[in-house]
């Protein structure tokens, strides 16, 4: 929609419905709460657990004068809460991805299939392993399209990195079935989807390995931190050695260098006790955090679902949605940007610096073609690894710029995003609905 059409529609609306962007009265003037889901729930419980570690003077996981065993307790509760056979707490979700690549022995001569709507950490882990990322398009769930995945599997394909983007799983059951049929490893990136599920099965239980993140933007937070879950004892043992210094630990917490099958090169990505104390307190609250976001999001969706010209993201299992993002598609790129600008003018925005309401054209390195180091095949080493490795010559013509994944590009152009804060009041939700309906009547009616 061009500016002239927008102005014409606005001038034909009743005065009481004139858009704020055109001089009308905004729906609200106070900013929405910060969108950081777990941070809004931090209280005395986090302080209590962190203080116990400080008072014990034992912030290291494996030994100390009076260990509070926060990391052990956190891993145990995670296993019990989500049914994972093995869980390993680590320093970040980014580290977890690299550990997962190494645990599966991925490297030169192999490619890892990954969706084009992702985060930069996904491709960086593949590249640092020496393997090649191969892009797969998304479907209306904004997650990997199983049909496009099948079409892109080739003789060098070794693993699939399926990303549960923006808090809700896509067709993960179909992707898991394809991986089984094709003999491919499946890694689930659940960084944005802690607490989500798919028809009753928690995310992370479909793949060989799965990772989670507890960075500030995530459903639960310890500032930084991550989790790796695995199906088998062998994979778990490898992740334990790799996240540490390349070796397992004895019962006393000292490095054990005697086992010949566990003499690897580690990353020093251990989770400290202070981080685990925060994460443990947040894990206790995670069901309430995700319920709050899911309820607010689906109230907004219900109110807007039949709006002409507005397409809401397809969520295959609404009950398993963890709720932190509302994704929308508008008829074209100009309308998407005008939609966001009009909503912001109505007061649907967060505090200064917030990304509460944005056009997906501005969603940065969540889109593969906005990652310069990927598009230009940059390397951390002078020899150009992995792009220069002779075993990776099969990928010489692989492209990562625009023109590769048509749905990713279309959704980026037409998309709009509203973050769903975990502390939205009923008035906040009502204001969001009122503003969306007001803007829709003028722009999309």
Q: Across the chain, what does the average pLDDT equal?
A: 95
Would you place residue 60 in the very low, low, confident or very high pLDDT band (cuts 50, 70, 90)?
very high
CB environment 128-141: b (16+ within 10 A), e (fewer): bbbbbbbbbbbbbb
Q: Lowest mean pLDDT: which of 112-126, 154-168, 256-270?
A: 256-270
Residue range 298-342, pLDDT digits in tens: 999 999 999 999 999 999 999 999 999 999 999 999 999 999 999
Whole-number Å distance between alpha carbons of 113 and 134? 5
pLDDT exceeds cutoff 70 at 198:
yes
CB 41 within 8 A of CB 221: no
**Helix H segments across 305-417?**
333-345, 372-375, 406-414
pLDDT given for residue 12 in this prediction? 36
Residue range 339-394, pLDDT digits in tens: 999 999 999 999 999 999 999 999 999 999 999 999 999 999 999 999 999 999 99
Range 40-62 average pLDDT? 98
CB 137 within 8 A of CB 148: yes
Pairing of strands 209-213, 226-230: antiparallel
Of 301, 273, 316, 331, the C-alpha closest to 432 is 301
With left for phi above 0 and alpha for psi between -120 and 50, is residue 79 left, alpha or beta? alpha
Q: Lowest mean pLDDT: which of 4-18, 157-171, 284-298?
A: 4-18
Which of 134, 218, 344, 438 is catalytic? The answer is: 218
CB 94 within 8 A of CB 124: yes
Q: Lowest mean pLDDT: which of 13-22, 55-64, 119-128, 274-283?
A: 13-22
pLDDT given for residue 16 in this prediction? 59
CB 118 within 8 A of CB 140: no
pLDDT given for residue 17 in this prediction? 85
Q: Is 218 a catalytic residue?
A: yes
Residue range 80-130, pLDDT digits in tens: 999 999 999 999 999 999 999 999 999 999 999 999 999 999 999 999 999
Pairing of strands 197-198, 325-329: unpaired
CB 125 within 8 A of CB 154: no
CB environment 280-308: b (16+ within 10 A), e (fewer): bbbbbbbeebbebbbebbbbbbebbeebe
Q: Where are the domains of the chain?
A: 44-283
Range 182-195 average pLDDT? 98
Whole-number Å distance between alpha carbons of 164 and 114? 11
Whole-number Å distance between alpha carbons of 243 and 222? 18
Whole-number Å distance between alpha carbons of 394 and 155? 10
Show the tokens assigned to 21: 């962007």
pLDDT exceeds cutoff 60 at 3:
no
Whole-number Å distance between alpha carbons of 4 and 117? 33
CB 368 within 8 A of CB 86: no
pLDDT exceeds cutoff 90 at 445:
no
Please name the CATH architecture into which domain 44-283 falls.
Answer: 3-Layer(aba) Sandwich (3.40)
With left for phi above 0 and alpha for psi between -120 and 50, is residue 268 left, alpha or beta? left
pLDDT given for residue 14 in this prediction? 43
């Amino acid at each position: 929609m061009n500016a002239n059409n927008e102005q014409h529609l606005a001038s034909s609306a009743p005065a009481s419905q004139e858009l704020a962007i055109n001089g009308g009265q905004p729906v609200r003037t106070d900013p929405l709460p910060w969108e950081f889901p777990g941070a809004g729930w931090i209280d005395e419980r986090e302080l209590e657990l962190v203080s116990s570690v400080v008072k014990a003077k034992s912030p290291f996981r494996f030994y100390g004068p009076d260990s509070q065993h926060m990391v052990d307790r956190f891993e145990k509760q995670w296993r019990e809460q989500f049914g994972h056979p093995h869980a390993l707490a680590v320093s970040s979700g980014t580290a977890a991805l690299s550990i997962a690549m190494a645990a599966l022995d991925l490297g030169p001569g192999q490619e890892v299939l990954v969706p084009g709507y992702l985060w930069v950490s996904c491709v960086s882990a593949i590249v640092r392993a020496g393997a090649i990322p191969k892009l797969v398009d998304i479907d209306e769930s904004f997650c990997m399209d199983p049909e496009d995945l099948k079409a892109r599997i080739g003789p060098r394909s070794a693993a699939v990195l399926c990303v549960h983007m923006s808090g809700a799983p896509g067709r993960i059951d179909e992707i898991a079935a394809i991986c089984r049929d094709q003999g491919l490893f499946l890694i689930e990136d659940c960084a944005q989807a802690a607490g989500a599920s798919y028809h009753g099965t928690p995310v992370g239980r479909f793949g060989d390995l799965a990772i989670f993140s507890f960075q500030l933007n995530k459903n639960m937070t310890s500032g930084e931190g991550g989790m790796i879950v695995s199906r088998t004892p062998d994979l778990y043992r490898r992740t334990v050695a790799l996240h540490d210094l390349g070796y397992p630990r004895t019962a006393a917490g000292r490095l054990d260098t005697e086992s010949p099958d566990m003499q690897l090169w580690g990353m020093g990505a251990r989770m400290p006790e202070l981080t685990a104390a925060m994460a443990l307190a947040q894990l206790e609250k995670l069901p309430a955090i995700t319920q709050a976001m899911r309820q607010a999001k689906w109230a907004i969706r219900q109110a807007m679902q039949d709006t002409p010209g507005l397409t809401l993201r397809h969520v295959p299992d609404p009950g398993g949605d963890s709720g932190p993002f509302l994704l929308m598609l508008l008829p074209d790129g100009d309308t998407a940007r005008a939609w966001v600008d009009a909503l912001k003018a109505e007061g649907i925005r967060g505090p200064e610096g917030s990304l509460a309401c944005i056009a997906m054209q501005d969603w940065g390195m969540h889109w593969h073609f906005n990652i310069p180091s990927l598009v230009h095949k940059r390397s951390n080493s002078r020899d150009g690894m992995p792009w220069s490795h002779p075993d990776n010559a099969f990928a010489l013509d692989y492209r990562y710029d625009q023109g590769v994944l048509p749905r990713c590009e279309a959704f980026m152009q037409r998309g709009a995003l509203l973050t769903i804060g975990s502390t939205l009041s009923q008035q906040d939700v009502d204001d969001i609905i009122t503003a969306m309906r007001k803007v829709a009547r003028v722009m999309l009616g």
